[in-house]
Amino acid sequence: MTTVNIALIPRGHYNLLSLVKELKSSIAEYKSGINLQFETDAPNTGLEIFNPVHDEKQINVTHDLAKLLGTGTKLSAKTYVKKLKTPSSYFIHCNLIDPTKNFFNGKRSKILAKIDITGSDYDKVTYHSPPQECLRDCYTGQHVNQITLSVEDEGGEMFDFSGLPIEFVLELN
């Protein structure tokens, strides 16, 4: 049995269709001779990957790709991906938020807003904050020299927008 490592796919934000496109491109680039088949409309799963020559050629993926797919690093003859392990929300943190008066999920927090991700990859989306989330208790010092905003995913990791533009609109009262 031959083991084939799939070439790296570019960093970025993927949905199932864009991921299939990158996987096909990666396999073609590697010239593995494997005709992997993908089904994105399979019942009870988001994506089905079928390797028709599994007995002859084993396919390995990187640990990061396996984590994204929610699978092991060795793909089976049929591999089922229930859902991509991608963030579903942005958490916007602000250094002016007073964590002694601001709570998120029962814990003290500097979270300014939680925004659920919508739309397709690389589409421009305008998110409107609901009125009840606009006001947060802030530090009450005399002067503000700097405001720091950061965007994190559900796991607390800084969100990488891969060079895409991001725009914050702040309303200061």
Separation of alpha carbons 56 and 76, rounded Å: 12
Is the pLDDT confidence value at 77 over 80? yes
Handedness of CA 148, 152, 157, 159 (dihedral sign): negative
169 or 38, higher pLDDT: 38
Residue range 49-71: average pLDDT?
82
pLDDT band at 4 (very low <50, low <70, confident <90, very high): low
- Residue 115's pLDDT is 75
- In what helix (H) or strand (E) does residue 26 lie, and over which residues does it extend? helix 16-30
Percent of the chain with pLDDT over 70: 70
Q: Which residues pair with 92 in a beta bridge?
A: 113, 151
Separation of alpha carbons 65 and 73, rounded Å: 8
Kindly report whether the global pTM for this prediction surpasses the value 0.85: no
Nearest CA among 107, 103, 117, 108 for reference residue 152: 117
Separation of alpha carbons 66 and 6, rounded Å: 11
Across 40-49, 60-69, 139-148, least confident range: 139-148
- Residue 172's pLDDT is 64
- Residue 141's pLDDT is 67
